[in-house]
Chains A and B, each alone.
Chain A
Amino acid sequence: MGIDRREFIRIAGLSTLLGLGGKGAFELLAPGRVDAEIVPKPEAKKGKRWAMVVNQKKMDDHTARKCIEACHRVHNVPDFTNPPNDKLKLDPAMANRYQIKWLWTEHFHNAFPGEEQKYPQEHLAHLNFLLLCNQCNNPPCVRVCPTKATFQREDGIVMMDMHRCIGCRFCMAGCPYGSRSFNWKDPRPYIKETFPGYPTRELGVVEKCNFCAERLAQGLEPACVEVSGGLLIFGDLEDEKSQVREYLRKYFTIRRKAHLGTNPQVYYIV
Chain B
Amino acid sequence: MLENALVGTRRYYGLLALLAGIFALGFLVYLKQIQVGLGITGMGRDVSWGFYIAQFTYLVGVAASAVMVVLPYYLHNYKAFGRVTILGEFLAVSAVTMCILFITVDLGRPDRILNVLKYPTPNSILFWDMVVLNGYLFLNLLIGWNVLECERHSVPPPKWLKPFIYLSIPWAVSIHTVTAFLYAGLPGRGYWLTAIMAPRFLSSAFAAGPSLLILLCLLVRKYTKFDPGKEQIQSLGKIVTYATLINVFFFFCEVFTVFYSQIPDHLLHFQYLFGGIAGKGRLVPFMWFSIVGMTLTALFLVNPRLRQNETTLAALCGMVIITTWIDKGLGLISGGFIPNPLEQVTEYWPTVPEAIITLGVWAMGFLILTVLYKIAVSIKEEINA
A residues contacting B by CB (< 8 A) are 24, 27-28, 31, 96-99, 101, 106, 109-111, 113-114, 140, 143-149, 164-170, 172-178, 181-186, 202-206, 257, 260-262
Q: Give chain B's interface residue range (CB within 8 Å of chain A).
A: 35 or more
Whether the Cβ atoms of A175 and B188 lie closer than 8 Å is yes
Known: A169-B106, A173-B336. 17 other contacts (CB 8 A): A24-B120, A27-B119, A110-B343, A113-B342, A144-B186, A146-B116, A146-B127, A147-B119, A147-B124, A149-B115, A166-B113, A168-B103, A170-B126, A173-B189, A176-B341, A185-B37, A204-B37
Of the candidates B107, B112, B117, B124, the one whose C-beta lies within 8 Å of that of A145 is B124
Residue in B115, B122, B125, B130 with the greatest tally of chain A CB atoms within 10 Å = B115
List of B residues within 8 angstroms of A205 by Cβ: 108-109
Q: Which of B112, B123, B183, B188 contacts A164 (CB 8 A)?
A: B112
Q: Residue B45 at the A interface, CB < 8 A?
A: yes
| Distance of B304 from chain A, by nearest CB (Å) | 44
Given the complex of chains A and B, what is the CA–CA distance between A175 and B109 in angstroms? 20
Is B119 a contact of A184 with CB atoms below 8 Å? Answer: no
Selected contact of B39 from candidates A28, A173, A177, A185, CB within 8 Å = A185
Known: A24-B120, A147-B121, A168-B106. A185 touches B342 (CB 8 A): no
What residues on A are CB-neighbors of B108 within 8 Å?
Answer: 165-169, 182-183, 203-206
> Can you list 27 A-B pairs with a CB-CB distance of less than 8 A?
A24-B117, A31-B119, A98-B44, A98-B45, A111-B342, A113-B342, A140-B186, A144-B124, A144-B186, A145-B121, A146-B116, A146-B121, A147-B119, A147-B121, A164-B119, A165-B108, A166-B108, A166-B112, A167-B112, A168-B126, A173-B48, A173-B337, A182-B38, A182-B45, A186-B37, A202-B109, A257-B188
Determine if B344 is an interface residue (Cβ-Cβ < 8 Å).
yes
Q: Indicate the member of B43, B119, B186 with the most A CB atoms within 10 Å.
A: B119
- Looking at A28, A114, A165, A178, which has the most chain B CB atoms within 10 Å of its CB? A178
A182 and B126 in contact, given A27-B120, A106-B342 (Cβ under 8 angstroms)? no
Task: Tell whether, in the assembled complex, residue B37 and residue A203 are in contact, meaning their CB atoms are under 8 Å apart.
Answer: yes
- The 7 closest A-B CB pairs, nearest first, are A167-B108, A176-B188, A204-B108, A97-B44, A184-B39, A146-B126, A146-B124
Q: Chain B residues with Cβ under 8 A from A257's Cβ? A: 188, 341
Are the C-beta atoms of B109 and A109 separated by less than 8 Å? no
Q: How far is the CA of A173 from the CA of B183 in the complex (A)?
A: 8
B183 — which chain A residues lie within 8 A by C-beta?
173
Verify B264–A114 contact, CB threshold 8 A: yes
- For B76-117 the 0/1 string (1 means CB < 8 A from A) is 000000000000000000000000000100111110110111
- The interface residues of chain B lying within 8 Å CB-to-CB of A182 are 38, 45, 48, 108
Q: A32: shortest Cβ distance to chain B, in Å?
A: 9
Pick the residue among B107, B122, B340 that contacts A168 (CB under 8 A). B107
Which residues of B lie under 8 Å from residue A172 when comparing CB positions? 45, 48
Tell me the minimal C-beta distance from B3 to chain A in angstroms.
Answer: 27
B188 near A183 with CB under 8 A, answer no
How far, in angstroms, from A182 to B37 measured CA to CA in the complex?
10
CB-CB nearest in chain A for B42: A97
Q: Secondary structure at chain A's binding surface: helix, strand, loop or mixed?
A: loop
B188, A177: Cβ atoms under 8 Å?
yes
Q: Which residues of A contact B44 (CB under 8 A)?
A: 96-98, 184
Q: Are B115 and A164 in contact (CB under 8 A)?
A: yes
Q: With A and B bound together, what is the CA distance between A49 and B187 in angstroms?
A: 23
Inter-chain contacts of B127 with A (CB < 8 A): 146
Interchain CA distance A202-B34 in the complex, whole Å: 12
- In the complex, the answer to whether A173 meets B187 with C-beta atoms within 8 Å is no
What's the Cα separation between A127 and B346 when bound, in Å? 23
The answer, among A143, A168, A178, for a CB contact under 8 Å with B342, is: A178
- Asked whether any CB of chain A lies closer than 8 Å to the CB of B46, the reply is yes
CB proximity of B204 to chain A, nearest CB, Å = 20
Distance in angstroms between the alpha carbons of A79 and B108 in the assembled complex: 20
Nearest residue in B to A166 (C-beta to C-beta)? B112
Identify which of A28, A144, A147, A176 contacts B125 (C-beta below 8 A): A144
Q: Write out the residue numbers on chain A whose beta carbons fall within 8 Å of the beta carbon of B346.
A: 96-97
Question: B278 on the interface (CB 8 Å rule)?
Answer: no
Please name all residues of chain A whose beta carbon is closer than 8 Å to the beta carbon of B343 when the two chains form the complex.
109-110, 113
Residues from chain A with a CB closer than 8 A to the CB of B112 are 147, 164-167
A99 to B112, CA, bound (A): 24
Q: Which residues of B15-58 have CB atoms within 8 Å of chain A's CB atoms?
A: 36-39, 43-46, 48-49
Q: How far is the CA of A169 from the CA of B333 in the complex (A)?
A: 13
Q: Are A184 and B120 in contact (CB under 8 A)?
A: no
User: Once the chains are docked, how many angstroms separate the CA of A253 from the CA of B43?
Assistant: 35
Q: Please give me the residue from chain A that is nearest to B336 by CB atom.
A: A173
Is the CB of B310 closer than 8 A to any CB of chain A? no
- Is the pair B344, A110 in contact by a Cβ cutoff of 8 Å? yes
Given contacts A144-B125, A149-B115, A178-B45, contact A204 B38 (CB under 8 A): yes
Query: B265 interface residue, CB < 8 Å from A?
Result: yes
Q: Which residues of A contact B118 (CB under 8 A)?
A: 27, 147
B92 to chain A, nearest CB (A): 23
Q: Compute how far the CA of A101 lies from the CA of B126 in the bound complex, rounded to whole angstroms.
A: 25
Q: Which residues of B contact A164 (CB under 8 A)?
A: 112, 115, 119
User: Roughly how many angstroms separate A269 CA and B352 CA in the complex, as a whole number?
Assistant: 47
Chain B positions 118-176 with a Cβ under 8 Å from a chain A Cβ: 118-127, 130
| Residues in chain B near residue A204, CB distance under 8 A | 37-38, 107-109
- Contact residues in A for B103 (Cβ distance below 8 Å): 168
CA distance in complex: A140, B188 (Å): 9
CA distance A168 to B123 in the complex (A): 16
B115 with A166: CB separation less than 8 A: yes
Contacting residues, chain B, for A143 (C-beta < 8 A): 123-124
Q: Give Cα A170–Cα B122 distance, bound, in whole angstroms.
A: 14
